[in-house]
Structure 1
Amino acid sequence: MTSPESGSAIAAAAAEATATAAAEAAAEVLPAVEPLTAGPAQPGSPHVVAAFAGAALADLAAPVPGRIAILVGQDLVDALADSPLGGLDLHAAVQPALEAVAGRLGSQVRDARTVSLDDLVAELAAPGGAFTTVPLIGVGIDAAVLVTDDALAGPPAGGSASDAAQPPAARVASASERIETIENTPAFTAPLDEQPRRPFTAISGHRGLEMLHGVDMEVTVELGRTRMTVRELLALSPGTVLELDRAAGSPADLLVNGRLIARGEVVVVDEDFGLRVTEILDDAAAV
């Protein structure tokens, strides 16, 4: 018969295993110059949060309660701010990582947003009062995944059918082996908020752009625009024709993050619309 103490230990180890698995999924898709590896899970604190430069937060969809967050260093924050495509939102850049974490928790992302570090601590503490941190290790401790403890207590982390069918003790043993391997390395024998860190320094433009190579961007093709009064908008009905500020046959605009970067011709490819790019615009021409 399992004692209350051993039951609590198993539950705690299972929660750590779930957090580590979620962080491993995020490490595969988070923008970084060097491949990231998940470190050992540990209790979160304001000191951990303060060691980073930016944060993206998201709620989890039912039935899993709680919130998740991604912390990043100054390198990625600077790369997003100085992108050749203009300033990019942090939460949009790390959206795939947030979705990967939520997927391992058996949920989906709701209402992802970029938040200040101070607001992050307050929002993570609001649901259940505690959260777990898993550092993501590249050149140094480059990022971290934060999961509220109520989320870790929800449905088991996603994965293969065989993993989900394993009893908690088996999942704990597997995760404990991974954690032990990392903890036994000299660089990670102390809690995250006690780790010496490399200073956050501005990276070169080349390396900054390299960090963003895997970031998904929303691309919009615009045929034209017009302005209408509220009365005209309310009078819209099926069959209404809107006159745009673009002559027939004029090239369409290609916009990324709201910024005009190219023009081209609208074509049809296998019954779908497409754009054949005819002109790439420099900064001066794109205004």
Structure 2
Amino acid sequence: MNMAIASGAALSLGQAQAAADALAAVLPTGAPLTPLLHTGEAFAGRTGNAVVASFVGAVSADLAVVLLEAPALVDDGADGAPVVALQDVLQPALESASDTFGAGVLDDARVEDAAELFSDPSATVFELTGPAGVAGWFAVRGRGSLDRPAPTSAIAGKLARISNVEMALTVEIGRTRMAVRDVLSMEPGAVIELDRSAGSPADVLLNGRLIAHGEIVVVDQDYAVRITKILDAAEELD
């Protein structure tokens, strides 16, 4: 899914600010960053190493974030390659920003030049400021309307075009948060405690979005999941 070339429908300032606040809250930077509206006539930031992603849902949007200093995990390892790719480190922050738009799907983040997005008059650009000043920038551009959803027949026609597209379905039995030092110190036999008790339903996610709950079963010696509840859009956002 590539970033749109044409100018998009502008998001309200409130929508853009909510997305920027959500992104800044989970950016993996050493110090917390505050998004401030960029009021200059033209954006002059470095956009060649921007991490961008596109969101499709009730409203569609393009998002891009640039950090002047890469997070620690992106530093080169012993073999000269990054420990973790920049787009993988910033994907959760972009997901947090896109969550403010409601139900939808965010594609995988990628690194590319986002000069077109940052210079688009319909995009809203924020300076990500920290104790030492500007640490990066965030841009968001709407490509849909929250007020005038497409007719049901039009939506059905568009969905028919992608009905054969394969998507990743994931079953999640729990989560936890760990410090990087604890992850690096793991060895075979280590036990990781999850945030869910035994017997609790598993989450079923489509491309990272929660769509259902189920229970783990065994079918012909293979693990499977029996769906117990399908979530609608409102429940998915709770």
- The TM-score with structure 2 as length reference comes to 0.50
Structure 1 residues 140 and 64: CA distance shift in structure 2, 3 A? same
1:161 equivalent in structure 2: none
1:137 counterpart (114, 129, 132) = 129
In 1, Cα distance between the equivalents of 2:179 and 2:140?
23
2:58 counterpart (54, 60, 63) = 63
* 8 A contact 2:91–2:109 mirrored in 1: no
AA paired with 1:262? E
Task: Kindly provide the CA deviation profile for residues 182-232 of structure 1, in whole angstroms up to 9, marking residues without a partner as x.
Answer: xxxxxxxxxxxxxxxxxxxxxxxxxxxxxxxx8999xxxxxxxxxxxxxxx
* 8 A contact 1:131–1:147 mirrored in 2: yes
Task: Kindly provide the CA deviation profile for residues 52-92 of structure 1, in whole angstroms up to 9, marking residues without a partner as x.
Answer: 6732111112221231112111242x641336895211221
AA paired with 1:143? G
Structure 1 residues 101 and 79: CA distance shift in structure 2, 3 A? same
1:81 equivalent in structure 2: 75
1:35 counterpart (17, 32, 36) = 32
In 2, Cα distance between the equivalents of 1:15 and 1:56?
23
* 8 A contact 1:59–1:66 mirrored in 2: yes
Task: Kindly provide the CA deviation profile for residues 18-64 of structure 1, in whole angstroms up to 9, marking residues without a partner as x.
Answer: 2122111111101111111121254795623x2x6732111112221
1:110 equivalent in structure 2: 106
Runs of at least 5 residues in structure 1 that lack an aligned partner in the other structure = 1-10, 157-213, 218-255, 273-287
In 2, Cα distance between the equivalents of 1:129 and 1:215?
41
1:263 equivalent in structure 2: 188
2:95 equivalent in structure 1: 99
In 2, Cα distance between the equivalents of 1:143 and 1:99?
18
Task: Please identify which structure carries the higher helix content.
Answer: 1
Residue 187 of structure 2: SS of its match in structure 1? strand
2:172 equivalent in structure 1: none
- Runs of 4+ in structure 1 displaced over 6 angstroms? 214-217
CA shift, 1:93, in A, is 1.0
AA paired with 2:62? R
Query: What percentage of aligned pairs have identical amino acids?
Result: 25
Residue 57 of structure 2: SS of its match in structure 1? coil
AA paired with 2:145? G
Structure 1 residues 265 and 80: CA distance shift in structure 2, 3 A? closer
1:159 equivalent in structure 2: none
* 8 A contact 2:125–2:137 mirrored in 1: yes
In 2, Cα distance between the equivalents of 1:70 and 1:145?
4
Runs of at least 5 residues in structure 2 that lack an aligned partner in the other structure = 1-8, 148-176, 201-238
AA paired with 2:146? P
In 2, Cα distance between the equivalents of 1:131 and 1:58?
14
In 2, Cα distance between the equivalents of 1:215 and 1:109?
26
- The TM-score with structure 1 as length reference comes to 0.43
* 8 A contact 1:68–1:147 mirrored in 2: yes
Q: Which has the larger radius of gyration?
A: 1
* 8 A contact 2:95–2:106 mirrored in 1: no
